[in-house]
Amino acid sequence: MFIGHYAASFALKKVSPRTSLRALLLGVQFVDILFMIFILFGIERMRLIPGTTASNSLKLDFMPYTHSLLGTFLWAVGAFVLFRFALLRKSGYENHTRNLISFAVAIAVLSHYFFDVPMHLRDLPLAGDDSYKLGLALWNNRIAAVSLEFFLTLGMFAVYLTASKPGQGFAGKYGMPIFGAALLVICVLQYIIPPPTTIIELSSQALASYIGIGLVGGWLDQKRVYS
Ligand SMILES: [Zn+2]
């Protein structure tokens, strides 16, 4: 899953509006950001084999540190500690607000595993690489896969928009709706245009997308008005 992960960011922003959307957008892809770096350094492994699933060529051979339930959980705990005791230290928020914000970011990180389970082949381990693996293989049904990602994102984006009002200027009024529409277009295109053929190409494109979406979405969200 790629764009569908952002559904969790949008839902969490509605539940905890003081959490930065940038942190939530980067948070839901955090383990994928690590994965893209880890495969470049050979710490985790994947191959691109056309036809691995009907939707993509991802043959995910070894990713226990980023895409196991235990690994994702530990990264989520790390995110909680980072926000609660470092990044929010000088925020001026009371303790319970800091707890809530940090918890929302941690849930964003943890959500990645659960959003991947319906799409992936059985390649998502519970703990180490030799442990039981989950995956419902929806990627083998392209229409079902793209529909799930599309409607999940659309639905949660609509929920997200109800938490705030349009702000000033073009970016404040139209920025976020355009951003949401762009995500939905990317969601569909991803299933249509031919995927990258090398690991370097794939990981650099993915990293640029994750970081670009996080920064642009976070910036546009700040243009909106929260009461
Ligand atoms: Zn992933």
Which residues in the chain come in under a pLDDT of 70? Answer: none
Residue 195's pLDDT is what?
Answer: 84
For ligand 1, the distance from its centroid to the CA atom of residue 36, given in whole angstroms, is: 10
CA of 15 to the centre of ligand 1 (A): 23
Name which of 159, 169, 180, 183 is nearest 224 in CA terms.
169
pLDDT at 194: 87
Distance 44 CA to ligand 1 centre (A): 13
> Quick one: pLDDT at residue 190?
94
Find the 5 Cα to ligand 1 centroid distance in Å: 9
Ligand 1 centroid, distance to 93 Cα (angstroms): 32
CA–CA separation, 214 and 199 (whole Å): 22
Show contacts of 175-184: CB within 8 Å, 24+ apart: 175/220, 175/223, 176/220, 176/221, 176/223, 176/224, 179/216, 179/217, 179/220, 180/153, 180/154, 183/3, 183/6, 183/153, 183/157, 183/213, 184/3, 184/150, 184/153, 184/154
**Contact present, 101 and 88 (Cβ < 8 Å):** yes
Distance CA 199, CA 18 (A): 37
Q: How far is the CA of 108 from the centre of ligand 1 (A)?
A: 13
From CA 149, how far away is CA 6, in angstroms rounded?
A: 9
Judge if pTM exceeds 0.75: yes
Parallel, antiparallel, or unpaired: how do β-strands 45-48 and 58-62 relate?
antiparallel
Distance, in Å, from the CA atom of 139 to the CA atom of 127, rounded to the nearest integer, reads 23
Tell me what pLDDT residue 227 has: 86
Q: Encoding tokens for residue 223? A: 């243009």
pLDDT at site 162: 97
